[in-house]
Amino acid sequence: MAEKSFETTSQVCCSTGSESLPILASPMESPLRKVLSRISGFVPSWGKKTAPPGRRIFHRDVEQDEFQNGTAHCLSSYYSVFVARLAIMVMLAILIGLLTVLTWHFTRVYTTKSLNTLAYGLRYELLQRPILRMWNILNSTSEITTAQVKLSEYVIRRYSKPTNQAEQIELYQMMKDITWALFASRKALNAITINYRNGFVQAFHRDHRSNNTFYIYSDLANYSISDTGSYDNKSQSSRQGWNDQFIHGNVSAIWYRQPLDPLTGEKIGKSSQIPPEDLINIAGPSQVPDGVASWHVAVSKYTDSPLLSAALPVWDASNKSIVAVVGVTTALYSVGQLMKELVEVHSGYIYLTSQEGYLLATSTNTPLLNNTAKGPKLMMAANSEDRVIRMGAQWLQKTYGNKFPPGHVVHVEKANLGGQHYYIDSFFLNLKRLPIVGVIIIPRKYIMGKVEERALKTLVILISASVCILAIGCVCILILTNGVSKEMKLRAELISHLDARRRAEASSNYKSQFLANMSHELRTPMAAVIGLLDILICDDCLTNEQYAMVTQIRKCSTALLRLLNNILDLSKVESGKLVLEEAEFDLGRELEGLVDMFSVQCINHNVETVLDLSDDIPKVVRGDSARVVQVFANLISNSIKFTTSGHIILRGWCENPNVSSDSGKFSPDQKKPMSALKTKLKHGNHMKKVSKKDNKMILWFEVDDTGCGIDPSKWESVFESFEQADPSTTRTHGGTGLGLCIVRTLVNKMGGEIKVVKKNGQGTLMRLFLLLSTPADGLEQQRQIDFAKHSVAVILALHGSMGRLIMSKWLSKNGVPTLEASEWNELTQILRELFHARTTNSGFDTHYSLAKPLRSKVQTLQDMKKLVYIIVVDLGLLDLSTEIWKEQLNFLDKFSGQVKFAWMLNHDTSNAIKMELRKKGHILMVNKPLYKAKMLHILEAVIKESYVEPQNRSPNGTKGTSKQGDSHECLEIDSTQFETCSSDDSDISEMTGANSVSSVGIREQLKEGTILKSGPPTLRNCLVEFTRLGLEVNNLRTEEDQCNGRPKFHDTKDVKCENPNSSEQPLVRSNVKDRDNSYTTNKAASEQKSLEGLRLLLAEDTPVLQRVATIMLEKMGAVVVAVGDGAQAVEALNCELDGDENRTNRLQTEICDSPPYDLILMDCQMPMMDGYEATKAIRKSEERTGWHVPIVALTAHAMSSDKEKCLKVGMDAYLTKPIDYKLMVSTILSLTKRSTKG
């Protein structure tokens, strides 16, 4: 039963689940729906309540959903769960109740039935026994009577004719003996009487109460023997007289009673005369009128129970007349006794009545006879003194009246007698002359009492048990549904989460789509800005200052573009799809550029930006330069944001035991990094092992600022997305909190770590290490000029104390004596000290103002002869607000013979000042900030100049020699410029040569300006593997550098030949994009045809594009075959393969077994057969030949996923539309070179 109910519960639960979760699998829906509808039929209100939300959820609005889901969903599920529970409980209750009732009912019915049958049997049996006894009594009585009659007949016949008195007496004596014998043999007999015809009576009588036996006889004297003779004659006539009345009325007769010994029959007393009323019943001839035996019930005064008397006539020998009447009387007492015994055992009441209703025997002790004046009389059962018998008899009388059912058989199971229930059964015993009715009354309680009691108890137990089960079931259901509903809720949540995730994914998909579109939209205006700037830079009417400014704008724009690209790249970083490129780059120079860029920002903040790289850092490392720069750019910009005064130092050193031992001598604060190293040793240990094997180096960097600092508790969390140390910073400083997150992701990607380190003093110290590999040949260090040899000394007159300190330490390490001055007065003191002392040999007047250590330094310098002094002067030392600076300049000019001045300019240094400086012959001008590379260059320039000086020196040095002019221009532009004129430039350009694909990375492209000028026609041989964004950046960088390179080129031209070529001029002014073109037109025709001799197949469906691309390529000298779709392309290729002869005719130079085309440009989206399909087909057909024709995809989709798709089908490279001329050429070249090589 329990199982069944659980089954139903689970079903119901499922259905409720489906209701509250309509998003569940729909195929499951329909069967469950049916169940549900059935249930909701039971509870109609519920169905109405819950159905609408279900439908609503099905047809919901995506926007509405979020809002409504919360409330409606919750409510409906609450209702449904509640109602489901209720329904289950009700059903369970009904089930259990039904079962209980049924069980009880059946058990009771069966018990009652069996009990009833049993009880019936019992009752029957009970009644049967007294009846049987009665029957016995009757039988024995009749037997005795019959025996008596037979004996009497025999005796009388023997003495048939008594002739005399003696014979008569003898006869009577004989009769008396016989009768005694019979009487004695039956103890139960009450009396035996013999009434002779002549009126003589002989009788034996037993008085049961007194236990006496008597012989009663009438007086013989009154009877004559003669009489007897006449008796026969008058038998018929005098029958009337021979009756009871005669006997009783026979007053003349005297009755005697003689007590007898009950056993022997001897006379034990004298016979006494007794009054007639004391007589017992003596059967007379009246009782046998028709001569047959008769029965009747009589009463006697000696017994209180009715007597059964039988009478039989004794016929004479001729059998014609009755000679005597024999009567036998038996007491019914024994029947009553039996009944009493029975009742004692079985309880209840039994009585026997005659057909008329006279009581014959009862099981009670109440008297059966009425004592009237006339003597005892029989009593009706309805008048019995016993209450139960009386009521039973009355009940029977009332119910049946006189119309008893045939046979008087009645079975009544529930008779209400005086407020109690009884069984009443009656039986009929049909005796001749004496029909008897037996009635048994048994209290119902006796038989069914226990049963009913038990049944009641069972019922109570059953009910309580079922209530218990119900309660437990309800609890179980509650628990079960609770669990199920919880699970359902969880599942619903899961589903909604999945849904949300799917939507989020979709939206992020939209986002990336959007970004892809936006990237195009954003880059276009930026490209325009950069292009316009390039045009402006090309304009030669700009002053140098303007030029510098424009260059700065140009750089910033490039940075902005790079930033844009980086932002677009962010999703890639976040999703971990970012692939770092592996290319060689000059780490130092990247960082210098970065510091240059940020110093512009810092100057306004009064913050000093210092770059402090130790000498052991390898010049060239392999890695992703853009990402490395991004890391530091983010870190520095972050520092700048929070630093209002002080400095920002970017420190770098290398953890490489072999190198650090000899050249790791320079670091501003050596203890700190070393100790840090030690603390990190554990960490870096395994890294070291790796690094040795792979030629990898661990490069440590620190970004140290004096800003507001970060709370130690936030040191970890600042690297999380959208996390800022202080929420209020967004208000004051702006920013999204993404910067550091990107930094950490990138650093981790490069095998490094970043964390915030405790710092002495104010500010934040971020320390990170990167795992970068150096090129295989790369450990040979950059050339070190032995400055000590050249005997130079440097006076650093700079504002920023940190930069000055670091620089002076570095210089001292490299054997260059340095002096420091932080302000104008100090500088003048030093100068006076140095030179006045030397010239006049007495500097005592100024001694006081110099501090002791400085003075000692000065003196040691004085001791050294022939020193070349270089004074690096910060323009900020001069008082620029007034006109004093001119005087200060004049003052300095006095020393110009002995020292070289290098000026540190600000970005906003006015043109007038520059002009003035130039006029004074100060040609070494460097933009702030000062770092090693710039210092190195100053030193080199001075040293060179000092060599040149003796031969060729003009006092007004403005562009005195082209070389000088050159270098001065370079210095003024920025750090990237002096690379071009530095000594190692030429080797690199030589090395670059024709193919720089593998060995040189981005850097080489910087020199393209020069390469183009002098070298063979190598255009950008970009690695095709570059990511698209990387390409974009590189491309822009090359543009930038070209722009930077350009003016120099023109300047020299301008210097050399006053009239520039008329054809060149407009070309130079034209757009950025055509620079290559303009270059090529400048050069000889042979040089411009970079694609000379290449056979290209162009598959492009758009006629416009087809035409444009064809012309482009043909201009570069390539042979182009254009087709309209992919199918044609495949066909064209196969045709060429088949038509070998044709091909050889046309291209005799080609070797026969090489592919017909050097390269295929394939549009991706084409009718008939798109680019992907075509590529697949081509690649398949190539399997036979073993060729590999490079295929370049052309697509208008700017997504990287398209790129992957392209590469997957077997394309080699990827170009986006609109076609970028240069990029296309470089891609084609790299692919064709590679393929011909391979």
Chain residues binding other proteins by CB under 8 A are: 517, 521, 524, 527-528, 531, 1066, 1070-1071, 1073-1074, 1077, 1101-1105, 1107-1108, 1111-1112, 1115, 1163, 1165, 1167, 1196, 1217-1219, 1221
Query: Rounded CA gap, 267 and 262, in Å?
Result: 10
- CB proximity list for 641: less than 8 A, separation 6 or greater: 707, 733, 734, 735
| Count of CB atoms situated within 10 Å of the CB of 1128 | 20
Which of 413/1074 has CB closer to other proteins? Answer: 1074
Residues 6+ apart with CB under 8 A from 761: 706
Closest CA to 225 of 200, 246, 201: 200
- Least distance CB 517 / other proteins (angstroms): 6
Q: Is the separation of the CB atoms in 542 and 536 below 8 Å?
A: yes
Give the shortest CB-1174-to-other proteins separation in angstroms: 16
Q: What is the DSSP string of 669-692?
A: TTHHHHHHHHHTHHHHHHHHHHHH
- Select 11 or 1077, whichever has its Cβ closest to other proteins: 1077
Minimum distance from residue 1224 beta carbon to other proteins (Å): 11
H helices of 949-1007, in order, are 962-973, 975-981, 985-992, 1002-1006
Closest alpha carbon to 268 in 259, 277, 276? 259
350, 339 contact by CB (below 8 A): yes
With contact defined as beta carbons under 8 Å apart, do 909 and 756 qualify? no
Which lies closer to other proteins via its Cβ, residue 530 or residue 602? 530
Structure tokens at 188: 């139960």
Please identify, using beta-carbon distances, which residue of 527 and 793 lies nearer to other proteins. Answer: 527
CB atoms within 10 A of CB 499: 14
Long-range contacts of the stretch 458-462 (C-beta < 8 A, 24+): 458/104, 458/107, 458/108, 459/104, 462/100, 462/103, 462/104
Question: How far, in Å, CA of 875 to CA of 798, rounded?
Answer: 8
Nearer to other proteins, 153 or 1101 (CB): 1101
Bridge partners for 351 per DSSP: 362, 439
Structure tokens at 465: 């048990």
Tell me if the bond preceding 1218 is cis, omega within 30° of 0. yes
Please name the amino acid found at residue 391: M
Shorter beta-carbon distance to other proteins: residue 974 or 1101: 1101
The owner of tokens 């009673």 is 257
Residue 38's alpha-carbon distances to 44, 75, 88, in angstroms, are 10, 22, 13
Smallest gap from residue 1111 Cβ to other proteins (A): 5
Shortest distance (Å) from residue 1019 CB to other proteins: 16
CB of 32 or CB of 1112, closer to other proteins: 1112
Phi, psi (5° rounding) for residue 431? -95, 150
Nearer to other proteins (CB atom), residue 514 or residue 891: 514
Report the DSSP beta bridge partners of residue 819. Answer: 795
Determine the Cα–Cα distance for residues 184 and 205; give it in Å rounded to an integer. Answer: 10
State the minimum distance, in angstroms, from the CB of residue 1116 to other proteins: 11
What's the min distance (Å) between Cβ of 521 and other proteins? 8
Name the residue nearer to other proteins (CB basis): 269 or 1103: 1103
The two structure tokens encoding residue 298: 């009589």
Q: Shortest distance, CB of residue 1218 to other proteins, whole angstroms? A: 5
Closest CA to 926 of 899, 950, 900, 963: 900
Q: Which H or E element spans position 727?
A: none
Nearest-approach distance from CB 1226 to other proteins, in angstroms = 16
Find the shortest distance in angstroms from Cβ 631 to other proteins. Answer: 33
Distance CA 338, CA 317 (A): 42
Q: How far apart are CA 665 and CA 813, in angstroms?
A: 7
Measured from the CB atom, the residue of 871 and 1122 that comes closer to other proteins is: 1122
Question: Pairing state of beta strands 899-905 and 924-927?
Answer: parallel
H or E element, residue 356: none
- State the nearest-atom distance from the C-beta of 999 to other proteins, in Å: 32
Judged by beta carbon, residue 1050 or residue 1217, the one nearer other proteins is 1217
Smallest gap from Cβ 490 to other proteins, in A, equals 35
Degrees to nearest 5, angle at CA 582 with 581 and 586: 110
Judged by beta carbon, residue 790 or residue 1115, the one nearer other proteins is 1115
C-alpha dist (Å) from residue 871 to 828, 939, 947, 966, 1052: 11, 11, 18, 21, 29
Least Å distance, CB 1103 to other proteins, is 5
The distance of closest approach from Cβ of residue 524 to other proteins in the complex, given in angstroms and rounded to an integer, is 7
Per residue in 1155-1188, is it b (16+ CB within 10 Å) or e — as a string?
Answer: bbbbbbbbbbebeebbbbbbbbbbeeebeeeebe
Q: From CA 588, how far away is CA 600, in angstroms rounded? A: 19
- For the bound state, the minimum distance from the C-beta of residue 972 to other proteins, rounded and expressed in Å, comes to 31
- Cα distances from 509 to residues 505, 681, 721, in angstroms, run 6, 44, 20
Closest separation in Å from C-beta 1039 to other proteins: 13
Least Å from the CB of residue 526 to other proteins:
12
| Cβ proximity to other proteins, 523 vs 767, nearer residue | 523
CB of 1164 to other proteins, least distance (A): 10
Rank residues 25 and 1084 by Cβ distance to other proteins and give the closer one: 1084
Judged by CB, which is closer to other proteins: 338, or 1113? 1113
CB nearer to other proteins: pick between 263 and 1085: 1085
**CB-wise, 113 or 520, nearer to other proteins?**
520
Backbone angles phi, psi at 676, to 5 degrees: -65, -35
Decide whether 395 or 1172 has the Cβ nearer to other proteins: 1172
